Amino acid sequence: MTGTPLVPPRLRDDCFAMPQGVSWVPVDTALARLRAVLTPMTGVESVTAIDASGRVLAADCIARRSNPPRPNSAVDGYGFAHSATGRGVQRLPLVAGRAAAGQPFDGAVPAGSAIRILTGAILPDGVDTVVLEEDCASDGRIVVFDGPVKPRANTRTAGEDVKQGEIALTSGHRLRPPDLALLSALGIAAVTVFRPLRVGVLSTGDEIIGDPSQDAAPHQIFDANRPMLLALAQSLGCTPIDLGHVRDDPALIRDRLNQGATLADVILTSGGASAGDEDHISSLLRNEGTLSSWRIAMKPGRPLALALWQGIPVFGLPGNPVAALVCALIFARPALSLMAGAGWPKPQGFAVPAAFSKSKKAGRREYLRARIDADGHAEVFASEGSGRISGLSWATGLVELPDAALEVRPGTPVCFLPYGSFGM
């Protein structure tokens, strides 16, 4: 690509601010607010189509040729002009030669004659219909089959898949292996894509040990959030940037945030996002950046800090790994997708019978670690405790319970959101 790279617009300093008087924010309200204020945050580049898997299109892809480019045979058999056939037994003389894929017949087939033709072969002039080989008898000189045969049977028309000049794939589409097949078939050798969104991940806390190979004292814990969030960013097609772990020291955190602002397009932090004495992330973002603390009416993961640091969006996730992942899936995942140019995806859930009982109160949305059992019912992890990290690994998705009160009994329909619907 030539010319000056496009520079995306920066976010307004107050973009994350909630209206005055808003305290507990329903999940849908928070999602709508995020969607309204975010924009793509990355430039564009041109790459070869064969190297574009996982990339997000920044421009429509236009077919350079039709697929198929010419009418061709869908089966192995014999081709002829339909107008020369009728009812009853048909006997047609065969012309010398054959038509095969990559080996077109050089000439025309006279009306009332037939030609041996193989799957994928371009229909020679004079051929508009093909009869299946298994429905014919031939001695090499004539071919015999029962009529009538449907016009254009067993043939493909030119451009019946995609026509030259049509839009094959639209801007904002994340390319998958089947898409690369389509691009190649249409002669599209290069595509314009968004540069992968760079996602920095930072952990804070004196109790955190960043390296699991080290020894940890009884009052210390190993960093579970950073590897989880880095892997999530990568699974979403982003470029993960490990900003490491820093102690609860405002100067160290400030330096690491400054570093992140030069390396990343967006930063995910975990821990220190509330209002406690050691919540230095919140304090720094409030005093030296632009911070809006959202109290989301959901379980787990109520606190969600959203801020700008040197113009870079910062998502302050809860420190608890269960809450951090749920908040990341529900809020950060669609936000990162939008900032990456791929639009705002909604997780695709489906109703299944519950294999559990629960009396849910009104007022907040709840997400339970769950998986589908052998009978197709949703079973939930034995404990709702947010410290039970093993439940994240045990689960294959989340059961989403609505904001309203709900009595769940075995067999009650519940919404199951597979991990796969979140891109992981």
Q: What is the pLDDT along the chain (424 residues), one digit of tens a residue?
A: 455 555 555 666 666 766 665 678 899 999 999 999 899 988 999 999 999 999 999 999 999 999 999 999 999 999 999 999 999 999 999 999 999 999 999 999 999 999 999 999 999 999 999 999 999 999 999 999 999 999 999 999 999 999 999 999 999 999 999 999 999 999 999 999 999 999 999 998 888 887 778 887 788 778 889 999 999 999 999 999 999 999 888 899 999 999 999 999 999 998 765 544 446 777 888 888 888 888 899 999 878 888 899 989 999 998 889 999 999 999 999 999 999 999 999 999 999 999 999 999 999 999 999 999 999 999 999 988 777 899 999 999 999 999 999 999 999 999 999 999 999 8
Three-class HEC string of the chain: CCCCCCCCCCCCCCCCCCCCCCCEECHHHHHHHHHHHCCCCCCEEEEEHHHCCCCEECCCEECCCCECCCCEECCCEEEECHHHCCCEEEEEEEEEEEEECCECCCCECCCCCEEEECCCCECCECCCEEEEHHHCEECCCEEEEEECCCCCCCEECCCCCECCCCEEECCCCECCHHHHHHHHHCCCCEEEEECCCEEEEEEECCCEECCCCCCCCCCCEECCHHHHHHHHHHHCCCEEEEEEEECCCHHHHHHHHHHHHHHCCEEEEECCCCCCCCCHHHHHHHHHCEEEEEEECEECCCEEEEEEECCEEEEEECCCHHHHHHHHHHHHHHHHHHHCCCCCCCCCCEEEEECCCEEECCCCEEEEEEEECCCCCEEECCCCCCCCCHHHHHCCEEEEECCCCEEECCCCEEEEEEHHHHCC
CATH of domain 350-422: 2.40.340.10
Question: How far is 11 from 309, CA to CA, in rounded Å?
Answer: 11
What per-residue confidence (pLDDT) applies to 58?
A: 97
Which residues, including other chains, have CB under 8 Å from residue 250's CB and lie 6 or more apart? 280, 283, 284
CATH homologous superfamily of 24-43+196-339 equals MoaB/Mog-like domain (3.40.980.10)
The neighbouring-strand residues paired with 371 are 379
Cis check: omega of the bond before 300, within 30 degrees of 0: yes
Left (φ > 0), alpha (ψ -120 to 50) or beta: where does 361 sit?
beta
Inter-residue contact 208 to 245 (CB < 8 Å)? yes
User: pLDDT tens for residues 40-52?
Assistant: 988 999 999 999 9
The neighbouring-strand residues paired with 139 are none
What per-residue confidence (pLDDT) applies to 277?
A: 42
What per-residue confidence (pLDDT) applies to 1?
A: 46
Question: How far is 241 from 238, CA to CA, in rounded Å?
Answer: 9
Q: Which two tokens stand for residue 340?
A: 């990456």
Residue type at 414 in one-letter notation = V
Domain boundaries, the chain: 24-43+196-339, 47-53+57-67+160-194, 72-156, 350-422
Q: Which two tokens stand for residue 342?
A: 């791929």
What per-residue confidence (pLDDT) applies to 371?
A: 97
CATH topology of domain 47-53+57-67+160-194: Molybdopterin biosynthesis moea protein, domain 2 (3.90.105)
What per-residue confidence (pLDDT) applies to 278?
A: 47
Domain 72-156: which CATH class? Answer: mainly beta
Residue type at 100 in one-letter notation = A
Quote the Cα angle for 331-299-17, to 5°: 45
Question: How far is 360 from 368, CA to CA, in rounded Å?
Answer: 12
Question: How far is 264 from 197, CA to CA, in rounded Å?
Answer: 8
Inter-residue contact 120 to 143 (CB < 8 Å)? no
